[in-house]
Structure 1
C-alpha cells in the first residue's frame, strides 16, 4: 500500500486482513483497528511519542547544515514529548485555549468569514478565498500574537509540512529547508524579544522556558494549529456539498457541528500519527519488539465497523460520531480541538447563510494534499449562486 496515496478500500483491507502490518518500504508498523489505535494513544509509557515529529524521509547532512545555521532544533515539547516537562508546557499553552476563550472567539470567526464572503461573486475557490488564511488569523489572535505577516507564515508552514511529512527528494528538501529555517529563525527572534507580555511568547519567557525549547514548541504549534484547520475546512465543504440537501440544512441547530464531526470521523485532516514501542507489546495478536515504529491509522479507525455502524455512510445524525480519534486521545489530545471545531462550524454555517444556492463547480475529485499524516483537498471550486439578503437565513 502506498502510504501517501491510500484510500478507504486500502484501510478496510488492512483492518480486515492485516490490522498490524509492517510496511516494507518505511519499516513502519501500520495499526488500523480502532481499539488498537486508541490503546496506543492512551498509553504513553509503552507507546512513546518520541518519533511523532521526525522527518518521514531522513534529512541529509547538507540540508541539516542549512537548518543548523538557523539554530534549528526540535527538542521534546508537546507532540513529541514523553518526558516530565510535557505537563507543564501543555498547561502553559492550554491557558490560551480554554473552552471559555475559544467560545468567545465565535463572533470574531463569523466576522472574519463574512468579510471574506463579501468579496466573492460568481465563481470562487473557497481554499484561497476563505479557508487558507482565516485559521492563521484566528490562531494568532487566540495566542495574543500580533504583527505577523500571515502570507509569510503560510509559506513557512506549508513548506515545513512537506519537509517533515512529504515523500520528498534531496533536491526538494534543500528547497524546503530555506523557508523552514527562516520560520525557526523568526520564532527565536520574537521569543528572545518578548518582554513578558500577554501573548504566548511572553508567557513562555515568563515561565523560564529556554528560547530553544520555546521556539521548538511554537514551531509546530503555529503550523499544526492553523494548517490542519485549513485542511478541515476544505474537507468539510467538499463532504457537505457532495451529499444531497445537507447544504440547505446547515442553519438547523447543531447540524453544522454534526457535519463537522462526521468529516472528522471519515476524512480527518490528520490521517495518521506515529508512536514507538518502549517495550515488547502485542496488538491484535501480533507481537512487536521494543523500538518498533508505529503508524496509527487515525482515518481508518474512524471507519471501523466494530465501533461505527454503516461506517462508510456520511450520517450527521450518527449518535456516536464524536468517538473518532481525529484529535488523538489521552495526554496528547489536541489542544486546539475546540478551536478547530468552532471555526469549521461557524465558517460552514456563515457560508451557507450567505450563499444558500452554492454548489461545487465540478464533480471531478479535487487535487489532494498527500503527506504521510495530512490529507485534504487543495481546492474547493464552487458556483456561488445569488447571495441571500443580509440578515436573512439560508433557505
Structure 2
C-alpha cells in the first residue's frame, strides 16, 4: 500500500534507488499488468511503482502487507499468468483458483447500481496520479507511464504539473476518444452498463486480446466481473470527451513517447498513432508480435524500449540542467537545480558545439576525488580549453597567469608560503584586528540602523572584508576600502559568461587594482613577491588575484550567514547564547551556501566517474555547492543546522593542493563578526528580498541584503 495526500492506493514496488518510475493501468487493467516488466526496470537502475486506480475494483488482495511485489508471481517467465492463482468467482483474488474455459459471463453484478460518473474522470484520477508521484518520488520528478486509459490520465497530469515529470509514455493510447466513431462506441455503453453489468464490455475487450490466449482472456473476464460500475461508467463518459491535446504536449519540455503493439490496430491505426506522436513532439515505438498490452505479451522488448527512452530522457534533462547552472544570470536559489542534476545524472558529460566537452560532478565523493587528482589540472594549464578571447585584456591575461589557476612552479611555492603565513596556527594572530574592526563597524552599523533599512552587504560585509584583508596586506584602511570596492567588478574574471559592459568594467577595475598594488611589499604582498624575484609583473598579478580572493569569499560568506541566521532565529539564538558555536555556525553556512559554487579543472588523462568515461582534455566541473548537500555527506542536507554532523570534509574551500591557504583565517574572522553582531542586535530582522550578484555561476554573493530593527519582516 502507498499512502498519498489524496488517499491510499494498492501498488507493486520494485527497486530502492535510482530515478522514480510510476505506472498506471488501463480501463480494465491493474498494477499486475506491469509485473512482467518490473524486474527489468529495477535491474536497469530505476525504482518503480505500479498502482491501481482508487475505486477501480472491489477490495481484494493482490499484494502482500508491505505493498511490495512478493516475487512469488502472478506470471511465469513468458509474461503470462502462471497456474497458481487468479480471481475466484466473486472477482477477488484467492491465490488458488482457476478460470473456466467459457466466454460467458455470470449474471451481471451491480445491476441497477446508482452511478455518479462525475466521481471518476480523467482529471480526477490525474490528481491521484500526481499525489502518487509526490509520495513515491519524494519531491523529485518521475518517469510516468500510462496504459490505455492510464495514458489519458498520465497525459492530463503531465499537462497540469509538468515539473513532476521526467518523461511521459503513453502505451496503446491514441490522440483522442472524441471522434464520432469512438465517442459513439463509448457512450453506447452508458445506460446499458447499469442494467447489464460490466460484462457488456467483453466484446470490446475480446477484440484486442489474442484469441489463443485463454489464460489472459479469462483474467480480463474476471476483472470485468469485479470492476466497480461507478468507475467504469464515469471513466467511459470522461473518455468520450478526450481530445488529442497534441499542441499542448508539444510545448511541454519533458520527453514524450507513444508506444503500442504491432497488432494494436483496433482503436487507432498505426498511421494515426505515428501522426499523433509527431504532432505531440513524441517518439514513436512499435513492439513487434504484441497487441494492446505489449508489457504483458512482450515484456522484455517493452522494458528495453522504456529503459532506453528513460535513459535518453534523463540525459537530455541533465544537459538542460547543466546549461541552467552556467546561466548568464543571477540565481536566487540554484540548489534545486543542483539536487535535480544529482538525482538525474550525478555525472553528466556535456558536449557544447564550439565550447568543447565538459563534465559536471555533483556527488561529494566524486568532487573530492577530482580535487585531489593531480591529473586534473587548473585551467591556466590548459588555456586552449577556454572560450576564445577569454584572456583578451591585460587584467584577464594576468589572471590566467596567476598562481590561483596554475600548477607546479607557478603555483606551489606561492601557495606553500601563504599557507605558512595564514594556516590555523597563525589565525589567532589576526584575531585582534578582526575584533577591533568588528566593533568599529558595528558602531557605524547601529547609527545607520537607527535611520531605517540598511543594506547589510554594503554597510557591513564588504567593509569588514576590505579592512581585514587590508590589514593582512599592510594597507591603510582608506586604501583597503578603496580596493574592496574594486573587487566586486573583478569577480567576473572567473565567470563563464558575462556581458560586454561587465567585461569592460572588469578591465577598468583590474587596471586600477594593479596600479594601486604596484610596488607594494608589505604583509602578504611581500610574501608573494618573494616567490617571484626579478618578475615584477607576475608577482603583481598574483597579489591582485590574492587580494580579490581574500576579500570576496569572506564578504560573500558574511552576507550568506546573516541571511540564514535571520531566516532561522532558533539557530541564531544558539550562537547568541553560546558564542563558542560561532565556528560551527560558519562551517554550516559554508556547507549550505558556499561563496565558491564550482571548481573547474581540465582532465589531462582519461578518467571515469560513476559510469561515465571522461576523455582527456575535458573540462571537469566539481559543483561544490551540490556536493556539500549530498545526502551521502550528511542527513537532512537542505536544513540549516549548526550542530549537525557530516560524514566527510566540506569542500567549500576546495581540497588537495588548491585548498584555500587562508581558510582558517577567513572562518575565524567571520565567526568574530557574526557572534558579536547577534549579541549586539538581537532584534535585527530581514527587511526585504535579497538581490544576488549576476551572473554568480562560480562565485555567489548577495549584493543587497536589506535589514532593520523593525519587527515587520518581508520574505527574503
TM-score (norm 2): 0.49
Say whether 1:308 aligns with 2:642. Answer: no
Distance in 1 between residues matched to 2:640 and 2:504, nearest whole Å? 41
Alignment partner of 2:704 out of 376, 379, 382: 379
C-alpha change, 1:322 and 1:239, in structure 2 (3 Å) is: farther
Say whether 1:248 aligns with 2:573. Answer: yes
Question: Pairwise mapping of residues 1-395 of structure 1 onto structure 2 (< 5 A)?
Answer: 1=321, 2-3=324-325, 4=327, 5=331, 7-23=334-350, 27-44=357-374, 46-51=375-380, 58=387, 60=389, 64=392, 67-68=393-394, 73-74=398-399, 76-119=401-444, 120=446, 121-122=449-450, 123=452, 124-146=454-476, 149-165=479-495, 167-187=497-517, 189-191=518-520, 194=521, 198-209=522-533, 210-251=535-576, 252-320=578-646, 323-362=649-688, 364=689, 366-369=690-693, 370-384=695-709
SS at match of 1:308: coil
Contact kept in structure 2, 1:52 and 1:79, CA below 8 Å: no
How much has 1:287 moved relative to structure 2?
0.2
How much has 1:248 moved relative to structure 2?
2.3
Contact kept in structure 2, 1:55 and 1:165, CA below 8 Å: no
Distance in 1 between residues matched to 2:381 and 2:456, nearest whole Å? 31
TM-score (norm 1): 0.86
Distance in 1 between residues matched to 2:541 and 2:684, nearest whole Å? 41
Distance in 1 between residues matched to 2:348 and 2:647, nearest whole Å? 26
C-alpha change, 1:253 and 1:137, in structure 2 (3 Å) is: closer
Unaligned runs of 5+ in 1: 387-395
Distance in 2 between residues matched to 1:235 and 1:317, nearest whole Å? 18
Alignment RMSD (CA, Å): 2.8
Distance in 2 between residues matched to 1:214 and 1:208, nearest whole Å? 6
Distance in 1 between residues matched to 2:555 and 2:382, nearest whole Å? 20
Contact kept in structure 2, 1:159 and 1:176, CA below 8 Å: yes
Contact kept in structure 1, 2:399 and 2:545, CA below 8 Å: no
How much has 1:7 moved relative to structure 2?
1.7
C-alpha change, 1:374 and 1:207, in structure 2 (3 Å) is: closer
Distance in 2 between residues matched to 1:148 and 1:206, nearest whole Å? 26
How much has 1:203 moved relative to structure 2?
3.6
Write the deviation string for residues 173-232 of structure 1: whole angstroms up to 9, x where unpaired. Answer: 234322222322433x324xx4xxx52333444444321221121121100111111000
Distance in 2 between residues matched to 1:357 and 1:52, nearest whole Å? 50
Write the deviation string for residues 34-63 of structure 1: whole angstroms up to 9, x where unpaired. Answer: 11100000112x1111349979984749x8
Quick one: higher RCO (CA 8 Å, sep 6+), 1 or 2? Answer: 1
C-alpha change, 1:208 and 1:272, in structure 2 (3 Å) is: closer
Distance in 2 between residues matched to 1:333 and 1:368, nearest whole Å? 26
Distance in 2 between residues matched to 1:317 and 1:99, nearest whole Å? 22
How much has 1:320 moved relative to structure 2?
2.3
Write the deviation string for residues 128-153 of structure 1: whole angstroms up to 9, x where unpaired. Answer: 11111111211221233447623431
How much has 1:345 moved relative to structure 2?
0.8
| Stretch deviating more after TM superposition (237-246 or 290-299) | 237-246
How much has 1:283 moved relative to structure 2?
0.5
Please name the residue that 1:390 is paired with: none
Distance in 2 between residues matched to 1:215 and 1:53, nearest whole Å? 22
Contact kept in structure 1, 2:472 and 2:524, CA below 8 Å: no
SS at match of 2:613: strand
Distance in 1 between residues matched to 2:421 and 2:705, nearest whole Å? 31
Distance in 2 between residues matched to 1:84 and 1:336, nearest whole Å? 20
SS at match of 1:160: helix
Please name the residue that 2:216 is paired with: none
SS at match of 1:312: coil
Contact kept in structure 2, 1:357 and 1:385, CA below 8 Å: yes
Contact kept in structure 1, 2:489 and 2:506, CA below 8 Å: yes
Contact kept in structure 2, 1:355 and 1:385, CA below 8 Å: no
Distance in 2 between residues matched to 1:212 and 1:146, nearest whole Å? 23
Contact kept in structure 1, 2:633 and 2:647, CA below 8 Å: no
SS at match of 1:264: helix
Write the deviation string for residues 270-300 of structure 1: whole angstroms up to 9, x where unpaired. Answer: 0111000011100111001101001110000
How much has 1:253 moved relative to structure 2?
4.3
